[in-house]
Each structure stands twice: as structure tokens, then as C-alpha cells.
A and B are shown apart, each in its own frame.
Chain A
Amino acid sequence: MKKKIFKNIALVSSVCVLLTGVFLCLVFYFQLGDVVKTELQNRANAYIDFSYEDVENSLADVDESDIRVTLVAPNGTVVFDNTANATTLENHTDRIEIKEALESGSGQSSRLSQTLGEETYYYAVKLSDGYILRTAKTADSVLAVFARNLLLFALIMLAVLTLCYCFSARLAKRIVAPINKINFDEPNTVYDELAPFMRTITSQRSQIEKDMQALRARQDTINTIMDNMSEGAVLVDNKENLLYVNKGAKKLFSFANNGQGQNLRALFRDAELLAVAKSTLSGEHCETNRNIGGREYQIYGSPVAGVGAILLFVDVTEKAKAEKLRREFSANVSHELKTPLTSIAGYAELLTNGVAKQEDTAGFLQKIKAESDRLSQLVEDIMLLSGLDEGQATANIESVELAKVAYEVKELLAKKTEKNAVKINITAADDVIIKANYSHMHQLLFNLMENAVKYNKSGGTVEVSIQQKNGHPKLTVADTGIGIPTAEQARIFERFYRVDKSRSKTLGGTGLGLAIVKHICMIYEAKIDVKSTEEKGTKISVTF
């Protein structure tokens, strides 16, 4: 800006100075010419009435050394010259001023001496005797005037340019200062010329502000999502440097700092995971399962075009466990269903083929009946369980008196208790009533009491106690049976789990009893507590 202003001002001032100089020189030159001409004319006219001799005489008296006076005879011969020897001068008839004077009485002319840069002015008058008197004076020509003043011009020019420079620097500063101080929040324009510019900037500023806010909000949202998701997410660039590690991933690899710019290996150095990262960076979608810190993770790697890759760590421990349980369950179900069916099919085949002896037939039929009973019991239990699974629980809620149910179950188990020589003692507080589905309570007590009878020793007892404790109904079934090994206690509520697989055949049962108990307890938000000592007995309490 300073340069530009300086250039312009300097140009204008230089042109001004130059033009003024030229103009002044011209004016000066013309005026000087006029002055010289008038002087010559006056001096010449002073002799106009003189004759040749008079002039010669008076010239001897009057000092006319500042001008040149020449006397020319009418034939053009120079007869006198006060600056040169008259005899050496040539004939003057062809001189313009002489010619004019001869013709009209006076004449003038000027001649330029190119080498000297001077101009000589001439004036001639015709004297009374026909002689011509010529006066002449030499003055500077235009160029000479100009040349003489050139140094002055140069000095003036230099001064002007210096002034211009200082001025333009200050001007630039003064023009720019208010622009620099512009407060875009209050766009009171400094220069009217800048108003449209200011308007554009202000509107752009507010647009940028808005966009930034939107971006920040989006960034916040993304960060919140990334940090609050339980999966680990890691973003790496093409050089395997970390760009972003979310909270989940930091926790997974117990990584403290934010990791930006660090190598991926600072996060994990598992060879297989690094291989996943590498192949993802080469542009492949990868998926693998890996055990990290005792939990099962599914790792997804997706290339991100132009950035690198994103790795997602999804905890699939529960899923894997559930998957395993389901597989086990279906395997168990098919096995449990198959066993009675095989017996039934076997006996039925014997009967239809007529291979069976007449006296065995009744026994076979009884066995078929028993096996089909077992089968239907199993199917019933499975249906009950899946019903409980789907949460059909809350149907048919009524007030159930637990003691009453216990006595009913005791009746049902009468045959078994007799066979095993086990005694059931029920101690029930009055009015222990809970809101529940009657058949659920029945199932709960039946399964617990049946187990207590089944896994009891001959001559043992089953103590059933129903009490109100701290405002909560509490049901306890304690037996004096074989007990459950400590290691197995955690698993007894699993479906089809049997502590002693060899015993299940002789004792019957589906292996679903305690699973049903657990599910019912879950529905009524009851707490199950198992205390068992091997060979001494088991005590299971349910607190509602």
C-alpha cells in the first residue's frame, strides 16, 4: 500500500514539477527575448536621425560595449563594428534584418547558435543617409535556460520525492490504522467505501460462527456417542499412529493418555490384533474373535478412505456364553427326549413283533406307560420353563397361602415319602400369604420338596418352614440328605444339570426342577439361598 501510494504521488508530483519547470523556462525565455528586443530597438532608434558619421562619432563617446553595433552601407558592406574588425566581415545584404530595414526602414531577426546554446537578436534601422545601423545582443536559448536550471530542478525533484515518500508512508499508515482497528462485532464502518466489504465480512463471520457451532455440536455428539458406547473404538492413520481412542478402548487396554500421535503398539501389541490392523489398513474389512483380558471380543476392522482404519472391539462374552448355554440346552433336550422314546419304541417293537411273552406284556405296557409319563412330564416342564422365560408369569395372580400349598404337596408326595422312608415336617406361621400365580407356587414347593425327598437318605427328614421374616415371606426346605458338593453348588440351577449323572436314571426327574425354581424366583424377585454340606444335607431358602 505504501509503495503504491508513493508511486502514484511521486508520479503526479514529478510530472507537476517537470511541467512547471518547462513552463517557467518557456515563459522566462520569451520574456527575456522580449526584453532584449525592446532594448535593441530603443538603442537603435536613438540613432535613427543620425547620419553615418554622427553615429561613428557618438559611438566613440558612448560606451555601447554591452551590445554589438554594426554599421552597414546600403550596398551591404560592413563599415563599422564595435566588436570585430569591419573589414573581415562579409557582405550583409542577405541578412533578414538588413533586408527588412532596407525595404521598410527597420527589421529584426534572431539566430540560434546551436553549438553555444545561445540566441542572438538583431535589430536594424535605416539611418537618414541610407546606411543601416544594426544592434545585436546575445541571450541564452531555451535549452540553455533549461540546462542552467537543471541542477535546481533535480534538487527540487529530490526534495519533492523525499516529501512524497514520507507522506505516502504516513498516509498509508493513517489509511490502514482505522481498518486495523475495525471491531467486527460493531461494524460501524470507518470508510464509506468499505461498507459493502464490511457487510460481506459480517455476514460471513456470522455464517462461520454458526457453522462452527454446528460442527462443535456435532463433534460433541459424536464424542459423547463414542465415549459412552460400551464397545471400544480406535481410529488409526495410515502410518499406524493413533488418531482417536474412545473410553471403551482405553478401559479395555488400560490406556491412560489420549494417545494421539502415538503408535498403535502403545495401545496393544498382540500379534493377531496388529495383523488385523495391518490388513484393515491395506483396505480389507476384517472380523475376528479374540480373548482380551479374559473376555471374548469380536473385532471389526473397517478401512476409512483417506484416513486409515477404524477398529471396533465388541464384548461378546455374554453372547458367547448364552450361545453355549443354548447349544447345551438343545443338545440336552434332544437327549432327554430321546431316552424315553427309545425305550417306548423298543418295548412297542417287541409287542408288535409278537416276540414278547404273554406274561411280560403287562410289564412292558407298564414300562411304556411310565416312560411316556416321564416324556410328557419333561415336555410339560420344558413348556413351563419356556412359558416362564417369556414372562407369562403375571397372569392369574391371586392370594396364595403358602402353608396350604405345602400340605397339598405333602399329600402328593405321600407315596414317595413312604417308599424312601422320609418324613416331611411342616412348620408354618399363620397367614403367610403372597400374591402369586397358584400353579407357580405349587411348582416351586413341589420341586423343592420332591428334591428334598428324592435326595434324602432312608429314614431322613424334610423340614419345611414357612415364616414371615422382616416383613418378607420366607420359605425354607431343609433335608438330611446327601448334600451337594461345594464346587457344584453354583451350577445346580442350570437346565438339565445333574450333580451325579449316574443317579438320575434311578431317581427319575427331568433335571429341570431347580431351573424352574430359579425362574419362578426370578419372576417374583425372590432370593434363593443354598446351604449344603456333603453327606449332611441341604437347606434351600427362598425369601420373597
Chain B
Amino acid sequence: MRNRFDAQLNKLNNSLIEMGALVEVAIGNATHAFETQDAELAKTVLAADDLVDTKERDIEARCLKLLLSQQPVARDLRQISTALKMITDLERIGDHAIDICELSLFLSDQNYILNPENIPVMASVTQKMVTESIDAFVKKDLKLAKAVIARDDVVDELFGKTKTELIKLVHSNADLGEQAFDLLQIAKYYERIGDHAVNVAEWVIFSITGKHKDTQVL
């Protein structure tokens, strides 16, 4: 009985890692598509979103089934509830990758108005946060999860910088307003991705310690 349950938990874990990998690839490709204005790449990311959604539903169904049939307690319960919460954040990250791709597709035939220095930095930092939050989950690494949470400040700061830069540009030339808005949106999406990575990291910490945001939940 316990063996079967363990095998099911294992499978759940593997599915979660696979979903993480899908999201990682999506955000990596989205960033690349944005930076190189590669419309084809952007389209492949858009096409791959279904995979993430299917995976989310699959994991969700699995979690509910396990909760119902096994009535888990303690660590098992934490693991399953973590999975249930994590997939929401992962799916949101995947959605933001799609949003970035859609905007990149729209911008792919325009010259970027500002030398987009901060946005690629934001992109690489958030991408790393996503990778590390999934790594933390895979390796059950508390330290790594905390490092991810700490790095969110960097992203927030970069977002602020990008915003001021864009405001300056629009002040100097009102015609640049449209693209400035799009770029700001992209920056915002990255900032949101960073927040979701933090959420994932927090759930990882919960699955290890039973504490979520420093309150003992389970």
C-alpha cells in the first residue's frame, strides 16, 4: 500500500519537474525571441503553451486523486499541497512567457527605441530565478530557495530603472509612446515572473519545513 503511494508521489514529483522544465524552456525561448526579434521562435513558444496547460491539469488531477484516495498526513500532505500550489505559479510564468512572445512578435519588425540594456538583464535574472526555484524543488535545497527570494529585489529595482528610462524617452519624444508602453509591459511581465518564482520558492520552503512565509501552516 505504502509502496504504491510512494510510487505515485514519485510520479507526481517527476511530472512537476517536467512541467518546470517546460516553463523554463518557454521563458528562455521568449527572452531569446525578444532580444533577437526572432518571430519564428516566438511562434514556437506560443504553440508550446498547450503542453504547460495540459501538464497543469494532469498534475492537478493527480493531486486531488491522491488527496481523496490516500488521505495523506504530515510530509506527504505537504508535498501534495505544494505541488497543487506550485503548478498555479508555474502556469502563470508560462502565461507571461506567452505574453512576452506576443509582444515580441508585434515588435519584431520595429527598431527598439531604447538600447534595451535593463530588460535583458531582468530577463536573465528572472530566468535564473525560475531555474533555481525549480532546482530548489528538485534538490529540496532550502538555501537555494531562500536565495531566489532574496534576488527578487534586484528584479524590482531593474523594473524601476526601466520605467524611469522609458518615461524620459516619452518626455523627449511623444511618438515613442506606443513602443514605450509595450516595452514597459514586457518589463512588467518579467517582474511578475520574478514574483511567481518567489512564490514557487516559498512553496518549496513550505514543503521542506512546513512553514509558509514564516508561519507554521502544517
Contacts and interface: CB of A to CB of B under 8 A. Distances in A.
Nearest to A274: B18
A290 to B, nearest CB: 12
Contacts of B14: 240, 263, 265
Interface string B76-100: 0000000000000000000000000
B25 interface: yes
Name the residue in B17, B18, B134 with the highest tally of chain A Cβ atoms < 10 Å from its Cβ: B17
Classify the secondary structure of B's interface with A: helix
Classify the secondary structure of A's interface with B: mixed
B129 interface: no
Nearest to B51: A271
Interface string B1-20: 00000000010011001101
A103 interface: no
The bracket for how many chain A residues form the interface is under 10
Contact of B25 (A240, A256, A266, A271): A271
A271 B21 contact: yes
B113 interface: no
Nearest to A240: B14
A53 B51 CA distance: 139
Contacts of A266: 138-139
Contact of B20 (A256, A263, A269): A269
Interface residues of B, number: 13
B112 to A, nearest CB: 20
Contacts, number: 28
A286 to B, nearest CB: 19
Contact of A265 (B22, B25, B138): B138
B20 to A, nearest CB: 6
A266 to B, nearest CB: 5
Contacts of B21: 269-271, 274
Contacts of A269: 17-18, 20-21, 24, 134, 138
A256 B134 CA distance: 16
A265 B10 CA distance: 11
A263 B25 CA distance: 20
Contacts of B17: 263, 265, 269
Name the residue in A240, A263, A265, A270 with the highest tally of chain B Cβ atoms < 10 Å from its Cβ: A265
Contacts of A263: 10, 13-14, 17
Interface of B: 10, 13-14, 17-18, 20-22, 24-25, 134, 138-139
Given A263-B14, A265-B17, A270-B25, 17 more contacts: A240-B14, A263-B10, A263-B13, A265-B13, A265-B14, A265-B18, A265-B138, A266-B138, A266-B139, A269-B18, A269-B21, A269-B24, A269-B138, A270-B21, A271-B22, A274-B18, A274-B21
